Structure 1
Amino acid sequence: MQYVIYTRVSTDDQGKSGLGLEAQRRDIDIFLTNFSAVPYEVIGQFQDVQSGSENERPELTKGLALVRKTGAELLVAKLERLSRKVSFIASLMDDKKVKLRVAQMPMADKFQLHIYAALAEQERTFISERTKAALRAAKDRGVKLGGLRDATMKRNAVIQEKANTEAQRLIKVIGPLRAEGQSLAKIAETLNDMGIATSRGGTWSAVQVSRVIERV
């Protein structure tokens, strides 16, 4: 089995810092280790730093060209890393030369992936409309949306800044451990043994370690 791996992050900053990439690579590694037919070979890896709403992505184009040429499967961590547009997903489903595999849904076929993409797009549309309806209702009640939004944004900015500062401090310990190949669970155990508490004063878990890595 041959694979062409595709990863994507949304902004230049994410591309430079690695935000989100480790999580994608982790999911892809889990798929290759536990779900792929063997033997397998990764014949190409491509990465874009671009919004998922944009169809024209140079590295994805190269990856798809290699897939069509070799008959390999295009492997992505999550369907949204490929695209957030169901129309784009559908166009790939119709391409008989493109085989698609999603690490987080290792057993899903093209039909199931198409349905998932459609449902995800409907959910995003519903959430957007629900937010607009809530804002209209608040405005009808006389709530000053601008001031409320500004206060909320400032509060959220302070929370995010605190979280980022904490993550930068912790990554000095977590980073070297991860580089040595330690699992997230083992790193959590090490932090607990060292007496390093989480930001809320609790004990560490693998999920919390993962969040710090993704934030940094």
Structure 2
Amino acid sequence: MKKYVIYTRVSTQEQGKSGLGLAAQERDIDIYLNQFSDQPFEVIGRFQDILSGADDERPELEAALKLVRKTGAELLISKLDRLSRKVSFIAALMEDKKVTLRVASMPYGTPFQLHIYAALAEQEREFISARTKAALQSAKGRGVKLGGLRDKTNARNKASKAKADKFASTVLPLVQKLRDSGETLQAIADALNAADKPSPRGGKWTSTTVKRVLARA
């Protein structure tokens, strides 16, 4: 029977508390175990770190690897970047003869393919970082005040909210009267559509649109 040690990672304490990202990792791992494992299996350990992908000091990963080396089990992760974002770290692990790595999202990936994938992903991250810095430097060279862009966005958001509030006030008396008489949100939407009253965005009314108008009261 094949043995697996499962390792998952999320990058912040908040993700760890809320479960963000973990459900997707566990889903991919379950798919691999149930559809791609080539023989009956047993999961002998589960480990999880809540640390940045740039941090190689991970106590739970070290514990998982210790169990893998001791038992001959395979280390199973959902995606390669859950292990590390550094190709050097991944390459060193692949050279460890006592560690067999399985990536759920790449069920047929060979060690060579995984190494190439890690290298390409690292290059892409470096390029994105360089491109972002170049764009900011170019904008600065043209005299663009980067902080001013945020101010303009905030101003647009405030203007949009004021416009929505003003529109809501014009239909609110009718909507509130219908609601107070016991009409459902959908019934109110149907009445407004029958009266050819456009919604805030100029389209048809829905129960959700009516609910939003009431919320602005």
| 1:188 alignment partner in structure 2 | none
> How many angstroms does 1:38 deviate by?
1.8
The amino acid across from 1:54 in the alignment is D
| 1:211 alignment partner in structure 2 | none
Q: Distance in 2 between matches of 1:154 and 1:65?
A: 55
Q: What TM-score comes out, normalization by structure 1 length?
A: 0.69
| 2:95 alignment partner in structure 1 | 94
Unaligned runs of 5+ in 1: 157-200, 202-216
Q: CA-to-partner distance for each residue in 1:65-116, whole Å, 9 max, x for gaps? A: 0011111110000000010111110110111111000000000011111110
Is 1:108 the counterpart of 2:105? The answer is no
| 1:142 alignment partner in structure 2 | 143
Q: Distance in 2 between matches of 1:129 and 1:153?
A: 27
Equivalent residue of 1:65, what SS? Answer: helix
The amino acid across from 1:67 in the alignment is V
> How many angstroms does 1:142 deviate by?
1.4
Greater Rg, structure 1 or structure 2? 2
| 2:34 alignment partner in structure 1 | 33
Unaligned runs of 5+ in 2: 158-203, 205-217
The amino acid across from 2:107 in the alignment is P
Q: Distance in 1 between matches of 2:155 and 2:110?
A: 44
Q: Distance in 2 between matches of 1:29 and 1:153?
A: 44
Q: What is the percent sequence identity of the aligned residues? A: 73
1:179-198 matches, within 5 Å, as none
Name the count of aligned residue pairs.
157
Equivalent residue of 1:54, what SS? Answer: coil
**Segments of 4+ in structure 1 off by > 2 A?**
149-156
Q: Distance in 2 between matches of 1:154 and 1:15?
A: 35
1:8-19 matches, within 5 Å, as 8-19=9-20
> How many angstroms does 1:145 deviate by?
1.3
Q: Distance in 1 between matches of 2:50 and 2:112?
A: 28
| 2:66 alignment partner in structure 1 | 65
> How many angstroms does 1:55 deviate by?
0.5
> How many angstroms does 1:13 deviate by?
1.1
Equivalent residue of 1:33, what SS? Answer: helix
Q: Distance in 1 between matches of 2:8 and 2:101?
A: 13
Aligned CA distance change for structure 1 residues 3 and 54 (closer, same or farther; 3 Å): same
Q: What TM-score comes out, normalization by structure 2 length?
A: 0.69
Aligned CA distance change for structure 1 residues 155 and 49 (closer, same or farther; 3 Å): farther
Q: Distance in 1 between matches of 2:75 and 2:91?
A: 15
Aligned CA distance change for structure 1 residues 70 and 151 (closer, same or farther; 3 Å): farther
CA RMSD of aligned residues (A): 2.0
| 1:171 alignment partner in structure 2 | none
> How many angstroms does 1:150 deviate by?
5.8
Equivalent residue of 2:75, what SS? Answer: strand
| 2:128 alignment partner in structure 1 | 127
| 1:7 alignment partner in structure 2 | 8
